């Protein structure tokens, strides 16, 4: 096999974006592991330049100090959550991201209401669990960025974000534990992506992978979930978390704009490829292969159908509403003969390119600016 620079084979380990066998071959081989070690590969940098050279980051830092909240006391933890009732309601109102009718002729065609309900509960628990694991990824990444970023203003802000992410891990962990009977193991695609982001030796790659890609997706997914959910505690939790996430994505946009404007085409190409890889890994993880397995279905029999489900396609595309305009703002779409634009076209998400970027919109998502449920 010839591997060319920037080919799908080289970036993703497969030629075809939708190669089901290759996607499903990535599995969590150690589902019982408690600790997971990743080499960090980077120098911790001191800076002796304490001048505040970047007012936009300074503003974000001040904003962050005034926007802290307490996960134990600001959320209504005594709210009763009836998980079966929530999922049953969502199924009736087409809010699960699945069109059950679409699966009539498949291996799950004979599932009755009770079986679909149980699957729906696990599917939701799985999704919330991946958010929990992603939040821990953000916690570790921003701790790393605090060490590796060369700018004083950025170190201060990154440290604020570490505190935010600790709170997010806390509230998602508690929500799952108290209301959803515990969490699901990390998805293999997500873990692989988090490993890559944390392990990269270039400081801006950790930024790009976490602040722009993972957090950009999370911000869109939380917003979407908040619009759809009828569960008041989750709605409140997401409102608080989103206010923080918007600042985090803005931190990425404001910092990387400066760096990427000054980069050569060759350097920028590796960033474009990394952004593409991250986008595909996140898309792959949303196929939730583990939940099908848990319910006795071979993912090979069902994932090809899931990929064709039109309801699913809409949910999937929505996840990219923040990533695409932010990549555009950073100049990642159109450098090198629009390489990343072509990839986003293939993924069916380029239509979001002209939405407002998060560097501009973050204030609109603050606690003061958003309405309670």
Binding site for Fe ion (CB under 5 A): 135, 138, 165, 168, 215, 245, 248
Nearer to Fe ion, 157 or 352 (CB): 157
DSSP-assigned letters across all residues of 25-69: H---S-TT-S--------------------HHHHHHHHHHHTT--
Structure tokens at 322: 């923040």
Nearer to Fe ion, 86 or 213 (CB): 213
Nearer to Fe ion, 126 or 172 (CB): 172
CA distances from 31 to 28, 188, 234, 237, 287 (A): 6, 9, 27, 28, 18
CB of 165 to Fe ion, least distance (A): 5
- What length is written for the chain? 373
CA distances from 43 to 36, 40, 149, 155, 205 (A): 21, 9, 10, 14, 14
Nearer to Fe ion, 215 or 357 (CB): 215
Sign of CA dihedral 207, 213, 216, 219: negative
Nearer to Fe ion, 26 or 138 (CB): 138
- Cβ neighbourhood burial of 5 (10 Å; 0-12, 13-18, 19+): exposed
Pick the closest to residue 249 from 191, 208, 200, 195 (CA basis): 208
Q: Which residues contact 105 (CB under 8 A, 6 or more apart)?
A: none
CB of 2 to Fe ion, least distance (A): 40
Pick the closest to residue 248 from 148, 133, 138, 355 (CA basis): 138
CB of 370 to Fe ion, least distance (A): 16
In degrees to the nearest 10, what's the CA dihedral of 288, 291, 296, 301? -10
Nearer to Fe ion, 253 or 303 (CB): 253
CB of 33 to Fe ion, least distance (A): 23
CB of 212 to Fe ion, least distance (A): 11
CB of 302 to Fe ion, least distance (A): 31
Nearer to Fe ion, 26 or 145 (CB): 145
CB of 358 to Fe ion, least distance (A): 11
């Amino acid at each position: 096999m010839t591997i060319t620079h920037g080919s799908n084979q080289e970036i993703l380990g497969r030629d075809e974006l939708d190669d089901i066998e290759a996607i499903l071959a990535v599995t969590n081989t150690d589902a019982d592991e408690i600790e997971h070690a990743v080499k960090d590969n980077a120098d911790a940098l001191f800076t002796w330049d304490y001048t505040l050279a970047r007012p936009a980051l300074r503003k974000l830092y001040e904003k962050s100090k005034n926007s802290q909240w307490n996960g134990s006391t600001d959320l209504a933890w005594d709210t009763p959550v009836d998980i079966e009732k929530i999922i049953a309601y969502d199924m009736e109102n087409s809010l699960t991201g699945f069109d059950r009718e679409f699966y009539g002729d498949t291996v799950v065609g004979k599932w009755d209401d009770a079986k679909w309900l149980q699957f729906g509960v696990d599917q939701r628990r799985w999704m919330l669990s991946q958010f929990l694991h992603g939040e821990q990824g953000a916690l570790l990444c921003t701790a790393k960025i605090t060490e590796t970023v060369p700018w004083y203003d950025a170190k201060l802000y990154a440290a604020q974000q570490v505190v935010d992410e600790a709170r997010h891990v806390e509230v998602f962990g508690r929500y799952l534990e108290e209301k959803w009977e515990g969490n699901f193991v990390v998805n293999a695609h997500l873990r692989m992506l988090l490993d890559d982001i944390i392990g990269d030796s270039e400081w801006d790659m950790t930024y790009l992978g976490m602040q722009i890609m993972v957090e950009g997706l999370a911000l869109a997914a939380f917003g979407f979930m908040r619009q759809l959910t009828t569960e008041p505690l989750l709605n409140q939790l997401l409102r608080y978390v989103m206010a923080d996430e918007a600042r985090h994505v803005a931190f990425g946009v404001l910092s990387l704009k400066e760096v990427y404007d000054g980069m050569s085409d060759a350097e920028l190409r590796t960033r474009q490829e990394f952004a593409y890889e991250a986008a595909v890994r996140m898309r792959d993880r949303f196929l939730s292969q583990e939940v099908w397995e848990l319910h006795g279905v071979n993912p090979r029999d069902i994932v090809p159908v899931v990929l064709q489900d039109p309801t699913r396609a809409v949910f999937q595309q929505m996840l990219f509403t923040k990533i695409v305009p932010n990549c555009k703002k950073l100049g990642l779409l159109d450098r090198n003969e629009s390489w990343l634009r072509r990839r986003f076209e293939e993924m069916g998400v380029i239509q979001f390119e002209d939405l407002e970027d998060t560097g501009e919109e973050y204030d609109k998502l603050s606690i003061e600016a958003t309405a309670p449920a």
